[in-house]
Structure 1
Amino acid sequence: MGCNGSQRYTYSMHDALAPRSTSPAPLDPALGPVLAEFAALKRVPARASAHRSIADEGFRRAWTAILAGEPLEDVARTEVAYAAAQIALVPVDAAQLAHAGVDPDDRRTVYRNAAGRTVGTLSEPVADRLAAVVEGMTPPGTGPQFVDLLASQARAGALREGAARLVMPPEEMQSEHAWSVAVMGGLLQLRRDEPAGPAMLLGLAHHLGDAYAAVPDPEAPSPEDETARRRSVARALEQCPGELAELLAAALDHRNDLRLPAAGAFVAADLIDRVLQQRHYANLAGFSLSDAMDAREFVDPGPIREFQLEVLARFRLTF
């Protein structure tokens, strides 16, 4: 799969991985309700019957665009804007607007304004891309094998102290979680005037280690499991153009380096999405989120632990 114009994403990723002399601005807790609505898009049916949800469709579409060499920042801002437009417009969609006689230019304005309520002013290229996505003119496309594998791989279900794992329909897939983390991380970055692209890319890629690895207990992987995950990442990166593969490898190596704003936004988005998913399961299963959080250690025992605890407190997700 070619990547004409790979230089379009090179600068943003190299810049994102460069050391900073100052600390990144704090994450904005006022985004909490919006992030919860983004997470709920994992459970909204996709336009295409072959795809599970808006999130699954977005995961495929974003990877298709990135692998085609489209500008990373434009892809990221479009996906964030699409998520923002979806939560603003529901239950109205493009077909209903067209049926009501709204012309294409006015529909484009509707989409742009709907997204702008959350993400601010959109550039003309992003507004054009957003309209194309909402109108269904940008199909998700056919991605590499790892995209399909992650789209068919279920994540852990509802967990509770002293109880077996509960599978609560609809099951969450790795693709849906990854896209949710990607758009959350992108929005967190945009709100503090940072590029959205690198954080989105980390969100999309952070489960490449699971695509080809069957890990019995993802929450407590053995050394053998970690080896399998590294091999899985390598196998997935073989399907990417060379320069993109190098950038992805470097980004994944720095995913927990909190000196980098993109890494901090990714770590926060990943944590927030996992907690919100368990809250959804808890509501369905009839137990409290505190039960789920007692049963599952949401924060990493390593060097990012204090940051994650701060995120939980800042976004009022502690119980």
Structure 2
Amino acid sequence: MAGFSETGPAAPVALRELLVELGDLKRVRSAGRAGSIAERLFAQGWAALTGGVAPETVAFDITAKALAAARLCDLDAAFLAAAGLDEAQAADILVAGLDAVSGPVEAGLRDRLRACLREPAALSSGPVPAFVGALAQQPRAGVTCPGKPRILLEPPENHAEHCLVVAVYGVLLSPFYRADPTTVFLAAMAHHFHNAAMPDAGFTGEMLLGDHLWPIVGRCSEWALDELEPPLRETVGAARLVLPDDATAEGRAFHAADSIDRVLQIAQHLRAATLTMDTVLGEMELVHAGPVKAFQDRVLTDMRIP
């Protein structure tokens, strides 16, 4: 994967399809598990951080799990163990899930993520900060522009889902920008701290707040930071220093991840709205090969479906 330069491409297009697929972790849910996969990985990541796990370990562990889940969804280590598989068998499946999507990922990073699934770190779990649940309950604003009514697309994502996906994108994009992936991951996980307390009125609301905007954002962000004990509080605060601009490699990786996720979120709604039966029945083989496919095809034909 070629790296970033001032005169070359600003982002690695080879990762595009993978990032689209990972964005769907905001929308995958399973019986008996509260929230989407993205929402749960966000909480898991923060619990590990407050439990004293090294941020670098958390960043790669959560990213590896996200890549495996892109195809396996909630067929995760916990389910596979409950279903009777041993650790080696479960690891084989999880690595196969990662390998199915990780071809465009920088080779060294891909090997490290694969190792996270082969030999998972023992993640001690600390208290889940209150801001985690608040961000999971806080919907994103939708499409807003000053002077115009907002465009709402249902169901909305929440801020926990957005932060998690941006964090995973940031790790995957880091080699291209030659950025420290752990810093990018932490910055992304914490970049909407203010929205734990501050309802999201989007760009429109921010502009209407005028000179009050940044003092309010700062105050609300401090409330979330204050939930973290030292030295984690200082580590997260230091990572957040890359958020204001693209002057650093980490800032570029974060802002690339953030903008990609914001736009792909809207693209997902548009993609669903333009889906055709040719794609569903042809490309995606909704009625797929098997012992009864011929009969099923006749049924659909005689029922004039679609």
Fold agreement, TM-score > 0.5: yes
Q: Tell me what 1:278 maps to.
A: 266
8 Å Cα contact 1:44-1:53 kept in structure 2? yes
- For residue 224 of structure 1, what is the amino acid of its counterpart? H
1:78 to partner: Cα distance: 1.1
Deviations 1:169-212 (A, max 9, x none): 2x210000000100000111146665421111111100002212
Q: Tell me what 2:301 maps to.
A: none
Q: Tell me what 2:154 maps to.
A: 168
SS at match of 2:257: helix
Q: What is the rounded CA distance, in whole Å, between the counterparts of 1:131 and 1:111 in structure 2?
A: 15
1:124 to partner: Cα distance: 8.5
Deviations 1:210-251 (A, max 9, x none): 212245444451221321111011111111122222232233
Q: Given the alignment of the two structures, is residue 78 of structure 1 paired with residue 55 of structure 2, yes or no?
A: no
SS at match of 2:260: helix
Q: Tell me what 1:234 maps to.
A: 222
Q: Given the alignment of the two structures, is residue 110 of structure 1 paired with residue 98 of structure 2, yes or no?
A: no
1:283 to partner: Cα distance: 4.0
TM-score of the two chains, using structure 2 as the length reference: 0.72
TM-score of the two chains, using structure 1 as the length reference: 0.69
Q: Tell me what 2:253 maps to.
A: 265
8 Å Cα contact 1:66-1:75 kept in structure 2? yes
Which runs of no fewer than 5 residues in structure 2 stay unpaired?
103-108, 275-306
Q: Given the alignment of the two structures, is residue 36 of structure 1 paired with residue 20 of structure 2, yes or no?
A: yes
8 Å Cα contact 1:81-1:115 kept in structure 2? yes
SS at match of 1:122: helix
Cα gap change, 1:25/1:241 in structure 2, threshold over 3 Å: closer, same or farther? farther
1:158 to partner: Cα distance: 5.1
Cα gap change, 1:194/1:253 in structure 2, threshold over 3 Å: closer, same or farther? closer
- Higher mean C-alpha deviation, range 58-67 or range 189-198: 189-198
Q: What is the rounded CA distance, in whole Å, between the counterparts of 1:240 and 1:93 in structure 2?
A: 29
Cα gap change, 1:115/1:217 in structure 2, threshold over 3 Å: closer, same or farther? closer
1:152 to partner: Cα distance: 0.4
8 Å Cα contact 1:82-1:130 kept in structure 2? no
Q: What is the rounded CA distance, in whole Å, between the counterparts of 2:94 and 2:242 in structure 1?
A: 35
Q: Which has the higher contact order (CA 8 A, sep 6+)?
A: 1
Cα gap change, 1:101/1:196 in structure 2, threshold over 3 Å: closer, same or farther? same
Q: What is the rounded CA distance, in whole Å, between the counterparts of 1:95 and 1:145 in structure 2?
A: 25
SS at match of 2:141: coil
Q: What is the rounded CA distance, in whole Å, between the counterparts of 2:271 and 2:211 in structure 1?
A: 35
Q: 2:48 aligns with which of 58, 65, 68?
A: 65
Q: What is the rounded CA distance, in whole Å, between the counterparts of 1:75 and 1:111 in structure 2?
A: 17
Q: What is the rounded CA distance, in whole Å, between the counterparts of 1:259 and 1:45 in structure 2?
A: 38
Counterparts in 2 of 1:90-169, with a 5 A limit? 90=73, 102-116=85-99, 118=102, 119-122=109-112, 126-127=116-117, 130=120, 142-157=127-142, 164-169=150-155
Q: What is the rounded CA distance, in whole Å, between the counterparts of 1:233 and 1:276 in structure 2?
A: 26
Q: What is the rounded CA distance, in whole Å, between the counterparts of 2:67 and 2:116 in structure 1?
A: 13
Q: What is the rounded CA distance, in whole Å, between the counterparts of 2:142 and 2:256 in structure 1?
A: 21
SS at match of 1:279: helix
Q: Given the alignment of the two structures, is residue 211 of structure 1 paired with residue 199 of structure 2, yes or no?
A: no
SS at match of 1:120: helix
- For residue 180 of structure 1, what is the amino acid of its counterpart? V
8 Å Cα contact 2:141-2:201 kept in structure 1? no
CA RMSD across the alignment:
3.4
Q: What is the rounded CA distance, in whole Å, between the counterparts of 1:209 and 1:218 in structure 2?
A: 14
Q: Tell me what 2:242 maps to.
A: 254
Q: Tell me what 2:184 maps to.
A: 199
Which runs of no fewer than 5 residues in structure 1 stay unpaired?
1-21, 133-137, 287-319
Q: Tell me what 1:224 maps to.
A: 212
Flag the structure with larger Rg: 2
Q: Tell me what 1:16 maps to.
A: none
